[in-house]
């Protein structure tokens, strides 16, 4: 999750800096790129946590199926 945050934020900032230089948007390109990077990282982390939760629930259900009845 940490790598996801770093990659998304870095990509957003770099894209924003590029927009600042290419179109003279300083500092709005960097700000917008940072916000897009944070949003992308948040959505990606949400998906990761959701997948891990789903996998854990499946594993719990399988372990209960294997338990002998009392």
SS (HEC) of 5-68:
HHHHHHHHHHHHHHHHHHHCCCCHHHHHHHHHHHHHHHHHHHHHHHHHHHHHHHHHHHHHHHCC
Domain for residue 25, yes or no? Answer: yes
Domain for residue 66, yes or no? Answer: no
Domain for residue 46, yes or no? Answer: yes
What pLDDT is stored for residue 61 in this prediction?
84
Give the number of domains in the chain. 1
Q: State the pTM of this model.
A: 0.78
Domain for residue 67, yes or no? Answer: no
Give the largest Cα separation in the chain, rounded.
72
Domain for residue 9, yes or no? Answer: yes
* Domain, as residue range, for 39: 2-57
Domain for residue 52, yes or no? Answer: yes
Domain for residue 10, yes or no? Answer: yes
42-68: average pLDDT:
87
Domain for residue 41, yes or no? Answer: yes
What pLDDT is stored for residue 67 in this prediction?
58
């Amino acid at each position: 999750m940490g790598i996801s945050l770093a990659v998304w934020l870095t990509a957003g900032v770099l894209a924003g800096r590029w927009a600042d230089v290419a179109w003279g948007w300083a500092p709005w390109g960097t700000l917008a790129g940072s916000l897009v990077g944070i949003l992308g990282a948040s959505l990606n982390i949400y998906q990761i946590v959701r997948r891990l939760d789903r996998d854990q629930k499946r594993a719990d259900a399988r372990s209960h199926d294997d338990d002998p009845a009392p």
